[in-house]
Amino acid sequence: MKDIVVYGLGGLGRKIAKELKVREEAYHFHIIAFIDKQYLNNQCEFNVLQPKELHNLKYDYILITSEKWFEDISKELQSEYSISKEKIIHLKQLISEERYYCNLCDLKVPFMLDSGIESPAFSKRKIIGGGIREKCICPICGGNDRERWLEYVLNNKIDIFNKKGTVLHFAPEKRIEKNFRSNKNMVYITADIEAGRADRVEDITHINFPDKYFDYIICNHVLEHIKDEKQAFMELKRCIKEDGKVIFSVPICWEIDTYENDSVETDEDRLIEYGQKDHVRLYGRDLKERLAQFGFSADYYQVKNVLPEEEIATMRLIPEDTIWILSL
């Protein structure tokens, strides 16, 4: 039985810590302390210590929960607190089991983490791409199920990372953005309605680029937030080249037609009706016909129609999750 100190209780780190606590006996380790510089004891459900208190503890290893900051934290622990490099480990060194696969970081992992938002809408309807989703977040890179599916389609169905062209990516997923940045033959531009999140501040209903400028426009889980849906699709249509593609996904309920209600105005009502406070509609089974009205030819890739059940289970994907491909 190894005595472990868990370092890092940010958003992902806290989820990992909770998962590790229930797995102590199964994997033969015991967590003796949690360390984080940013948290005080009254700010977290764990008894959190500061790094300077490490010298009071007897432990076998320090597990750093953040893959992104692993090297920086490791160097700090060694230089400032005289911790031996051999005592500093990451999750894969603690648990070697390979139960699930994340294509975003290309690693097999022992478990996935729960995520999502609870809402009355999800108890009334089966909404794909929303609600509480069990075992959907990779504990190594933090990528979720819908990001893994988007990555799969972009890489294996469109082969976009090896192509030349111009891409506009709204609300970019950071792990997918990294793959685009590595393609030096592609002009890749990210955009978001809020400053500081992307290369440019852009409103999808008023895109500040010339007509027929982009080969691809990607907007994953964006359009359900946009009140003027028609104007957004007109802008996407204007900015895409004649042979270009718009790639997107939205939360969708395949049991109903798209649902909008002008009397739904408050955050509380939107949460009840659409599943999230900042959503303005719930897309449904009529989406393909709806897209045709905006002048698009629509096709899609759905998980269960592309991958075998075993691979769906290993990647922790939702069988009905759908990526839409629009052409002019």
Q: What is the mean pLDDT of residues 195-203?
A: 97
For domain 2-96, give the CATH superfamily.
NAD(P)-binding Rossmann-like Domain (3.40.50.720)
Per-residue pLDDT reduced to its tens digit, 230-278 = 999 999 999 999 999 999 999 999 999 999 998 999 999 999 999 999 9
Hey, what are 72's tokens?
């920086």
Structure confidence at residue 44 (pLDDT) = 62
Hey, what are 158's tokens?
């469109």
Structure confidence at residue 89 (pLDDT) = 97
Structure confidence at residue 113 (pLDDT) = 96
Q: What is the mean pLDDT of residues 196-220?
A: 98
Q: Do residues 12 and 68 touch, judged by C-beta distance below 8 A? A: no
Q: Which amino acid is at 295?
A: G
DSSP string for residues in 157-181:
IS-GGG--EEEEEES--HHHHHHHH
d(CA 261, CA 294): 20
What value, to the nearest 5°, has the Cα angle with vertex 315 and ends 152 and 4? 125
Q: What is the mean pLDDT of residues 191-204?
A: 97
Q: Do residues 250 and 106 touch, judged by C-beta distance below 8 A? A: no
Side-chain half-sphere of 299: how many Cα atoms within 13 Å? 8
**Terminal Cα-to-Cα distance of the chain (whole angstroms):** 61
Q: Which long-range contacts (CB under 8 A, 24 or more apart) does 274-280 make?
A: 274/121, 274/224, 275/117, 275/119, 275/121, 275/122, 275/127, 275/130, 275/131, 275/251, 276/117, 276/119, 276/130, 276/224, 276/251, 278/225, 279/224, 279/225, 279/251, 280/224, 280/225, 280/226, 280/227
Structure confidence at residue 24 (pLDDT) = 93
CATH number assigned to the domain covering 113-327? 3.40.50.150
Over the chain, what is the mean pLDDT?
A: 94
Query: 211 to each of 146, 214, 234, 254, 322, how far by Cα in Å?
Result: 30, 9, 11, 34, 28
Side-chain half-sphere of 117: how many Cα atoms within 13 Å? 16
Question: φ and ψ at 30, to 5 degrees?
Answer: -135, 125
Structure confidence at residue 40 (pLDDT) = 59
Hey, what are 33's tokens?
């302390």
Does the pLDDT value for residue 309 go beyond 80? yes
- Check residue 182 and report its DSSP letter: T
Q: Do residues 294 and 234 touch, judged by C-beta distance below 8 A? A: yes
Q: Which tops the pLDDT comparison, 46 or 35?
A: 35
- Check residue 155 and report its DSSP letter: I
Every domain of the chain with CATH number 3.40.50.150 lies at 113-327
Label residue 38 by pLDDT band (50, 70, 90).
confident
Structure confidence at residue 316 (pLDDT) = 97
Per-residue pLDDT reduced to its tens digit, 48-60 = 899 999 999 999 9
Structure confidence at residue 121 (pLDDT) = 85
Alpha-carbon 314 to chain mean position? 17
Per-residue pLDDT reduced to its tens digit, 100-149 = 999 999 999 999 999 888 887 887 888 998 888 899 999 999 999 999 99
The helix (H) or strand (E) run that includes residue 123 is helix 120-124
d(CA 105, CA 313): 17
Q: What is the mean pLDDT of residues 291-299?
A: 97
Per-residue pLDDT reduced to its tens digit, 13-23 = 989 999 999 99
| DSSP3 helix / strand / coil % (the chain, rounded to 5) | 35, 25, 40
Per-residue pLDDT reduced to its tens digit, 143-170 = 999 999 999 999 999 999 999 999 999 9
The proportion of the chain whose per-residue pLDDT surpasses 70, expressed as a percent, equals 98
Structure confidence at residue 41 (pLDDT) = 52
Q: Which amino acid is at 228?
A: D
Every domain of the chain with CATH number 3.40.50.720 lies at 2-96
